[in-house]
Amino acid sequence: MREGIDSRNEELDFDVVFLLSTLMLLVVGTVMVYSASFFISKENFGTGTALTLRRMWHLIIGIAIMLGIMHIDYRKLLNRTLIYSLLAAGIVSLVLCFVPGIGMSAGHARRWVHLVFFNYQASELTKIALILYMASFLARKAKDIDDFSTGVLPILLVNGIAALLVLVEPDFGTAAIIGSWAVINLFVAGMRLKHLGILLSAGIPAVAILMVIEPYRKARLTAFINPWEDMQGIGYQIIQSLVAFSKGGIFGSGLGQGSQKLFFLPAPHTDFIFSVLGEEIGFLGVAGVVALFGIWIWRGLTIAKATNDAFGFYLAICSVTLVALQAVINMGVALSLFPTTGIALPFFSYGGTTLVTTMIASGLILSVSKGARL
């Protein structure tokens, strides 16, 4: 994992490029939340800045947590009691979503848990627990990865339980993310191609069946194949997203000047914030944001490669792949490359728990970078 690294390089406190790319994504994301949410915020709360102020509060919390984790020796997180406690808390949170008075519903889904002073999205807490569990398991069991029963199956069972609970909420997109993310990291760890083939041959038909047995998922798939067949119905979201990009052109209509967010584009500050970005800052702005994500991913993978500690390697890899996978899916949905699903765009989409989870993942990567030679 450190092949080709010059041992004469001084040990860094943290990776500056990764930190700067993180901060730049946060700044651009916050500006876009302000622009995308202004009219919705004014309509629902009487002021255009209500949602942005909430975002700023979440941002402060997220940055504080990221900086705190960044200054912790990540090796201290390799504690089975801690990891299994977080994993249990994540699973319990997913169950609590269905408990009356505790679980909260919105949009026909029960994804949030209400505590005395705050609410949080249960699947986001579970993601962090899964990152730590996956990294610790692969660090301990890397030599057994060729054995399906001891090196692969435990990961599939734990992630499968979490994915199943998320699927029941229902949240098909997040469940699919959890499942595919597990397979990606098992592949990185050296899972046999035979086992990968078995998983794909079983998983792809299962996903297809799950998509067509639920009417709303089938409708999304139909809209993805041909949104123009029902322009005012199931195809509306995709068409409005594509209209936003077409209006943006090369240079964009100007920051804050987009028209699709004026109640034409559903969820402009959450699921489709990338579409608002495309309209207002154009192709060049989209390319710049994609480049920022590219730098973030590149530096994260570089940090993983530069550490000689197995736990640090998998901790960075699992964190990078989770954030990257969500970013690719969100952007792909906005560009009609994937069927519509409610996956947030990391650093950009409005949502406190999602933002804090992304900052925790960034903090873990920065913590690993402190011991890496880059």
- How far apart CA 271 and CA 342 sit, in angstroms, is 6
User: Which sequence spans correspond to the domains of the chain?
Assistant: 16-369
Identify any residues that bridge with 121 across adjacent strands, giving them in sequence order. Answer: 112
- How far apart CA 254 and CA 259 sit, in angstroms, is 10
Q: 232: buried, middle or exposed (CB in 10 Å: 19+, 13-18, 0-12)?
A: exposed
pLDDT of residue 211: 86
pLDDT of residue 107: 66
Lowest mean pLDDT among 166-175, 243-252, 275-284, 364-373: 364-373
pLDDT of residue 1: 41
pLDDT of residue 270: 94
pLDDT of residue 342: 84
pLDDT of residue 90: 95
pLDDT of residue 373: 62
* Cβ contact 179:159 at 8 Å: yes
pLDDT of residue 226: 87
- How far apart CA 95 and CA 366 sit, in angstroms, is 32
pLDDT higher than threshold 50 for residue 269: yes
pTM of the model: 0.93
pLDDT higher than threshold 90 for residue 101: no
* Cβ contact 4:30 at 8 Å: no
Identify any residues that bridge with 28 across adjacent strands, giving them in sequence order. Answer: none
pLDDT higher than threshold 60 for residue 9: no
Cβ atoms < 10 Å from Cβ of 47: 12
Instruction: Read off the pLDDT of each residue in 188-214 and give the average, rounded to a whole number.
Output: 91
Instruction: Read off the pLDDT of each residue in 357-370 and give the average, rounded to a whole number.
Output: 96
For residues 302 and 115, the model is more confident at: 302
Band (11; pLDDT cuts 50, 70, 90): very low
pLDDT higher than threshold 60 for residue 3: no
pLDDT tens for 12-32 read 478 999 999 999 999 999 999
**Amino acid making up residue 124:** E
Band (233; pLDDT cuts 50, 70, 90): confident
pLDDT higher than threshold 80 for residue 4: no
Instruction: Read off the pLDDT of each residue in 244-269 and give the average, rounded to a whole number.
Output: 93
For residues 230 and 317, the model is more confident at: 317
pLDDT of residue 62: 96
Band (374; pLDDT cuts 50, 70, 90): low
* Cβ contact 270:350 at 8 Å: yes
